[in-house]
Structure 1
């Protein structure tokens, strides 16, 4: 599976305020870039924290792109994936509607009643890991279901965990012209952080969009 991480951050590396409120960091040109990237993948992945905080839909904005996918024998919208160790996804979340297939990666720590409730709400529930989602096992299960190209949109805990597991192939970051600040504000890669072995990147492109810049990287094995 090929994994592409995409995010928008401030100049000081923040994804949102310390209150974890959703911010508009980029603009129309970058929104279109992200929509094109979404249209190119088989699935879009977020962590459960993003679902609880923002209730995203994770579908394409442009109808022409949905039509083109259908013409190519693909679903109109990419599938949606949530990493949700304990089954916290609300059963009325927009991500569980019928606009696209939705996979929930949970752990064995999620009780059976909750699994059934999420399945009844429209999720394809995949158990991967004991106390927390085992991302490598979860991505293998998605690959078995036909997901070959995965886009990850956050949040920082999920992105760090994917880097930590060596599962990221590409990284695209839009850097917006603002400073957010706040020691507790979420960053691109939260989690425990690296100490002595760091993920190495190779810069492959830059593109100025709106009032910011997109930095594109390949992850070096």
Structure 2
């Protein structure tokens, strides 16, 4: 089996599982202390991945914010911030988005074969565009990242990407932060969509840690299999719909 990075999926939700509301304005699902925790996790990763929908909707920076953490990365011979990675099935990305414009670090766009030529035409000055197959081959993406030196990958959303990774069984660690309120709007985006999740009642995730961070709680889950945290595996996958969210 092809090697792949260790994959940490990070998300903040309401009590009823929403990652945003439908207002069009950013919904605060966390607090300053938790944002700092996320920044620490980012600083310990080699790459951060979000879906193209997140790039369009949230215009995230995806940078390590702490100057001390950036300096520590440089001391270790790394760039100040992890690589930025996105997946797209349509190639509709603005080269002026902060994902591309900010951070002296490589940006990688894995594009479905049907849109790779267009993506290269519009993004070649700001990113490396990689043909990821049609349908998009997630294990191939992960193998390519591994070959680029990515050993630890942080996946920050949104819902389509969360669903893709989780239904593929390609998550080694899940950080779920729960905010103390409900959204209750079926038109708002949720943490995941429907799918054949391998973590059902017969194979639940293992709760490894609970941590109160102000008025939110962090739940850290691991797969049950004792070797799942370090294994390298894969399976063919496709990109679901791109309704996305990020911690930035």
For 1:25 and 1:197, locate their aligned partners in 2 and report how far apart those are by CA, in whole Å: 25
- TM-score by length of structure 2 reads 0.83
Q: Give the aligned partner of residue 118 of structure 1.
A: 123
- TM-score by length of structure 1 reads 0.93
For 1:220 and 1:119, locate their aligned partners in 2 and report how far apart those are by CA, in whole Å: 42
Match 1:18 to one of 3, 17, 22: 22
In the TM superposition, structure 1's runs of 4+ consecutive aligned residues that sit over 4 Å from their partners are none
> How many residue pairs were aligned?
218
The SS at the match of 2:124 is helix
For 2:214 and 2:121, locate their aligned partners in 1 and report how far apart those are by CA, in whole Å: 44
String of CA shifts for 1:64-86, please: whole Å, max 9, x gaps. 10000000001110011101122
Instruction: Could you tell me which runs of 5 or more consecutive residues in structure 2 were left unpaired when the two chains were aligned.
Output: 226-248
Instruction: Could you tell me which runs of 5 or more consecutive residues in structure 1 were left unpaired when the two chains were aligned.
Output: none
Whether the 8 Å CA contact 2:119–2:129 is kept in 1: the answer is: no
Q: Give the aligned partner of residue 80 of structure 1.
A: 84
Q: CA RMSD in A?
A: 1.7
Q: Give the aligned partner of residue 128 of structure 1.
A: 132
How big is the shift at 1:128? 0.9
String of CA shifts for 1:37-75, please: whole Å, max 9, x gaps. 000000011001111001001001111100000000011
Q: Give the aligned partner of residue 169 of structure 1.
A: 172
Whether the 8 Å CA contact 2:116–2:131 is kept in 1: the answer is: no
Q: Give the aligned partner of residue 113 of structure 2.
A: 108
Match 2:36 to one of 29, 32, 35: 32
The SS at the match of 1:109 is helix
String of CA shifts for 1:100-139, please: whole Å, max 9, x gaps. 211101011115243132112x111111121x42211111
Going from structure 1 to structure 2, the CA distance change for 1:111 and 1:150 (only over 3 Å counts) comes to: closer
For 2:144 and 2:32, locate their aligned partners in 1 and report how far apart those are by CA, in whole Å: 35
How big is the shift at 1:210? 1.8
Between stretches 178-187 and 46-55, larger displacement belongs to 178-187
